[in-house]
Structure 1
Amino acid sequence: MTDAAESPRTHFIRQIAEADLASGKHDRIVTRFPPEPNGYLHIGHAKSIVLNFGLAESLGGICNLRFDDTNPHKENLEFVEAIQNDVRWLGFDWDDRLYFASDYFERLYGFAVELIEKGLAYVCDLSAEEMREYRGTLTEPGRDSPWRERPVAENLDLFARMRAGEFPDGSRTLRAKIDMASPNINLRDPVLYRIKHGVVHHQTGTAWCLYPTYDYTHPLSDALEGVTHSLCTLEFEDHRPLYDWVIANVSAPSRPRQIEFSRLNLEYTVMSKRRLTDLVGEAHVDGWDDPRMPTLAGLRRRGYTPAAIRVFCERIGITKSDNRVEMAMLENAIREDLDANAPRRLAVLNPLKVVLTNYPEDRTESIELANHPKDPELGTRTLPFARELYIDRADFEETPPKGFKRLVPGGEVRLRGAYVIRCDEVVKNADGEIVELRCWADLDTLGKNPEGRKVKGVIHWVSAEQAVAAEVRLYDRLFNVPMPGAGGSDYRADLNPESRRVLTGAMLEPNLRGVLPGERFQFEREGYFVADPDSTSERPVFNLTVGLRDTWGKSQS
């Protein structure tokens, strides 16, 4: 049972579904998630997944997974498999209800024949360019095609020959005969079928060279599956009259109801599948699962959890109003999840060597630290402590700014879970770069703070000899502005050149040796990180999931 089902939020679609059940209109709610397999799913699709699967599940209904695969030149099995993986990862399942629109191609063809026989569809010889000219504009009606009044028998013959492959691409289409003067352009004799030679469909192979359009296929697929509530985003609102027209004019076995809701518009990213495809194809990112991408595969690689994404989708709600959602809402959802569940570890991302001059050279002791400060059930771990350590360069300032509460010459700090140390000497190389700090450790301060002593701060550390060398990838937002490409500009110009920084010399506590890809941790005082699939047993690679707090606004000001 998912979070969405355990604590559903009331919204207008839920109210409609509940009323339909209460009135007896439906015995069971049936929804569907209908992706086109021409790319990877993104966070916007997660909103639809949580809505469709979560609504059906919470009301005792079912949700199908159906691929609307009517454009084989853009589709492939990689996308089919990735989509199934993503839906399962979010915590939903479709049991044995995995469907493809291509499963219905024969029946869809039969419905088209019905329309022709009723005088509601005709074969048109206009080219795509001519069709656009005849279509009219938002303020001017369209004109009838010269082929609109073809006899039924001729249309049936030509349609059969289109299927048989007698005509080249673009030479003929099958169009619905509705109303070329309709104020809704979608009803101006829309194309129902087009010819596509030379493509191999991932499900049907080369069996067809005649493919139905999305607006024709989608409503009939819903009807064939017994869908009760066909939930889609607002851009399909103007298509609803065509959805209803198609179902009403053929012998469809059921009458689904299309209901629209606002899509997810998330700041600092793009949701257009075309733009995401371009980002991948033009190598602005390293593939669909790049941690900077808003794809579910990218978010998973970045360390996001299914629970956090479901919580986010619940929080933003379901409405009819278009709106922009702040990236901070998504980041806060994962931050809350990881704060409660991620074990703590010590990691020095920019190491600076520290030598404790009064600590015995041959001594190594074990320091015990909690795996989580608020969850004793996660237990403890031990860390080696020795004479030579690494601290983060950011935790030392030779000339400290006002308010600096870490290590300074002559000043003291506590090493997390260990001793109070004092910096006595700063060692520099020939270029004047600080390469080492020589410090004194108060060996009476392990686990205690002597009365009267004031220590400015607590910093993290790792033992130099036992530390694990690692690569750490620091990810930031992919774009510099909330709305990339606003005002018609090229969205690529808004890409953030600092969206990824790679640190190759990070040093981690030895408990992180042999970490498995996908394991998540809080690096204390740094942020939340996940082990990347590029990790090896000896050299882990970690991705920054999210910082400990939202600092984006401050860093951009």
Structure 2
Amino acid sequence: MNTKTKKNSNNFIYKIINKDLKKNKNLLLHTRFPPEPNGHLHIGHAKSICLNFELANLYHGYCNLRFDDTNPIKENIKYINSIQNDIKWLGYKWHKKIRYSSEHFSKLYEYAKELIQKGLAYVDELTKQEIREYRGTLKTIGKNSPYRDRSITENLKLFEKMRQGKFNEGEACLRAKINMSSSFIVMRDPVLYRIIFSTHHQTENKWCIYPTYDFAHCLSDSIEGITHSFCTLEFQDNKNLYNWILKKTSVTHYSKQYEFSRLNLEYSILSKRKIAVLIEKKIVNGWDDPRILTISGLRRKGYTASSIREFCHRIGVTKQNNLVEFSMLEYCIRNELNQKAVRTMAVLEPIKIFLYNIDDNHEEKLIVPNHPNNPSLGTHEIIFTNTIYIEREDFKEEYDKKYKRLKIGEEIRLRYSYIIKAEKIEKDKNGNIINIICFCDVNSLGKKPVNKKNPAVIHWISIKNSFPAQFKLYNQLFKIKNPEQEENFLSFLNSNSLIVKNGFIEKKIAQKIIKKMNDNFIHLFFQFERIGYFCLDKLDSKENKLVFNRTVNLRDSWNLKKK
């Protein structure tokens, strides 16, 4: 059993299961994860995946993967494949074969006829808008449809007519006959079946009527022997309908539904519908864009499966909705990469330095560690020459007493190398600095200055050891803490959610990366010293120019809530 699972095994869900097991010692826990194949999974789904699969592992039970494929208009086989890949990548394995709600369509159809035969369902010919109007509001009760009192015989004939495709879409639907005065709107004669003329990815054109989620879900749980059906709090009222359908049909297994709070994360959108809007409007570049919190986006950004599982364990499972700090997610990946990411140097905005007292032919090889605290990661070679690149922000032309990096007349140490002092600058005709002329203290390698404070350290790359690279710096996509609450959420986009830099990495490291580019790997992790943690973007990288995505800063410094 995962040690993290042990630590979290005192939440209300574990207490429910333990209580059920005391009542029935022969109970075999059976959970399920039922995604809709209408988009990629996001980190909110990861929370549910961890919960359902780890409960099954902990109690030696089973967890089904069942696709809720009841709306062929929005579904696609590519989403089914991506969901499977995400679950496997997170480290979980479902019980036996993949299930689909569609494999139960024949049984669901028979259960629907059973409700009609009991006088508990009817074919309605109100339009969608009329059904909405007749349903009422939280303050006003609903009113009965004029088609509600049709005979059982007539309803059976009309339902068969629906199945045969003799109604147009929207002309008829099957509704449960419950109570139009119920305080729960979901119980005011909910729709059970609707007409959709669209080819289904599993059943093709066998059906033109499809069950709604509420009808298919509870019955699929029952058919598959699910003991505990976990969902988020927005389905709390739907539990009344879940139980009603199971009670009013001839099912032999009664599954139980329990609700927990959904994940809400600062500065983020976790609604698939809203993510789809971002994609359609080309605000982000597809479902795996690192700025959105899909599992594929997080993976491309450099998040590991273990860091996502750690995050899900840390936030826990409760019945109270709350907004989780984004820094907690970043902490989980930063803490992991700090232990295993290879350290190397990269320059994102290069400015050239010429060391005038170093010979043009001088080429010194220096061996540096891949990790200061992990010798098992080995070492690599860097080259020191008289012409190097440093970060533009590491030099300041104007005098500033508080500025502790390179400036005229001041010394700085090059990481793993010598102390240098800036003496003058060269500019082009437009006034742009093209060269910083520096003196190099050739006796300072590995030595502390005599009678001086240790100078600040900056990173660098020799021009002879440089390889072109692009760096994508990802920041939060929204400027406000909770964009999910905003109707016009697009008006709160952060214009600096992606900043692209073109610079260099060490050639020796680049050569090793290129050799592995075609290997079957997920991540190549790096800490670019003094900059942040990055991973190779395999999709965008080419052999003549590598692309790196910033996974996370070295510390929680880029924080919109401080702005």
Query: 1:127: Cα distance to partner?
Result: 1.8
**Is 74-83 or 86-95 further displaced after alignment?**
86-95
Runs of 4+ that moved beyond 6 A: none
Write out per-residue CA displacement over residues 205-264 of structure 1, whole angstroms, 9 at most, x where no aligned residue: 111001000000000111111111100000000100100011111122311110001101
Query: 1:6: Cα distance to partner?
Result: 6.5
**Is 12-21 or 61-70 further displaced after alignment?**
12-21
What amino acid does structure 1 have at the position aligned with 2:340?
Answer: N
**2:328 matches 1:322:** no
**Is 246-255 or 75-84 further displaced after alignment?**
246-255
What amino acid does structure 2 have at the position aligned with 1:479?
Answer: F
Aligned residues: 555
**2:269 matches 1:263:** no
Q: How does 1:121-132 map to 2 (within 5 A)?
A: 121-132=121-132
Distance (whole Å) between structure 2 residues aligned to residue 129 and residue 182 of structure 1: 20
Query: 1:436: Cα distance to partner?
Result: 1.0
Counterpart residue number, 2:113: 113
**2:94 matches 1:97:** no
Counterpart residue number, 1:520: 525
Counterpart residue number, 2:43: 43
Are residues 75 and 293 of structure 1, via their aligned partners in 2, closer, same or farther at CA, if it must alter by over 3 Å?
A: same
Are residues 525 and 192 of structure 1, via their aligned partners in 2, closer, same or farther at CA, if it must alter by over 3 Å?
A: same
* Aligned-partner SS, 1:465: helix
Counterpart residue number, 1:162: 162
Q: Of the candidates 475, 483, 505, which is equivalent to residue 503 of structure 2?
A: 505
* Aligned-partner SS, 1:174: strand
Counterpart residue number, 1:174: 174
Q: How does 1:131-146 map to 2 (within 5 A)?
A: 131-146=131-146
Q: Is the 8 A contact 1:240 1:258 kept in 2?
A: yes
Are residues 452 and 492 of structure 1, via their aligned partners in 2, closer, same or farther at CA, if it must alter by over 3 Å?
A: same
Q: Give TM-score scaled by structure 2 length.
A: 0.95
Sequence identity (%) = 48
What amino acid does structure 2 have at the position aligned with 1:28?
Answer: L
**Is 235-244 or 137-146 further displaced after alignment?**
137-146
What amino acid does structure 1 have at the position aligned with 2:152?
Answer: V
Distance (whole Å) between structure 1 residues aligned to residue 359 and residue 55 of structure 2: 64
Structure 2 unmatched runs, 5+ = none
* Aligned-partner SS, 1:552: coil
* Aligned-partner SS, 1:283: coil
Q: How does 1:101-500 map to 2 (within 5 A)?
A: 101-197=101-197, 199-484=198-483, 486=485, 488=487, 490-500=488-498
Write out per-residue CA displacement over residues 498-547 of structure 1, whole angstroms, 9 at most, x where no aligned residue: 11111123344531335237311110000011111211223110011111
Q: Is the 8 A contact 1:462 1:507 kept in 2?
A: yes
Query: 1:357: Cα distance to partner?
Result: 1.5
Query: 1:10: Cα distance to partner?
Result: 2.4
* Aligned-partner SS, 1:513: helix
**Is 17-26 or 384-393 further displaced after alignment?**
17-26
Distance (whole Å) between structure 1 residues aligned to residue 3 and residue 192 of structure 2: 40
* Aligned-partner SS, 1:15: helix
Distance (whole Å) between structure 2 residues aligned to residue 453 and residue 499 of structure 1: 42
* Aligned-partner SS, 2:174: strand
Write out per-residue CA displacement over residues 410-468 of structure 1, whole angstroms, 9 at most, x where no aligned residue: 21111111111111222222222211112122222222224323232011111101211
Are residues 25 and 120 of structure 1, via their aligned partners in 2, closer, same or farther at CA, if it must alter by over 3 Å?
A: farther
CA RMSD of aligned residues (A): 1.7
Are residues 125 and 25 of structure 1, via their aligned partners in 2, closer, same or farther at CA, if it must alter by over 3 Å?
A: farther
Are residues 494 and 3 of structure 1, via their aligned partners in 2, closer, same or farther at CA, if it must alter by over 3 Å?
A: farther
**2:61 matches 1:61:** yes
Counterpart residue number, 1:536: 542
Structure 1 unmatched runs, 5+ = none
Query: 1:268: Cα distance to partner?
Result: 0.6
Distance (whole Å) between structure 2 residues aligned to residue 398 and residue 30 of structure 1: 67
Q: Is the 8 A contact 2:466 2:504 kept in 1?
A: no
What amino acid does structure 1 have at the position aligned with 2:102?
Answer: S
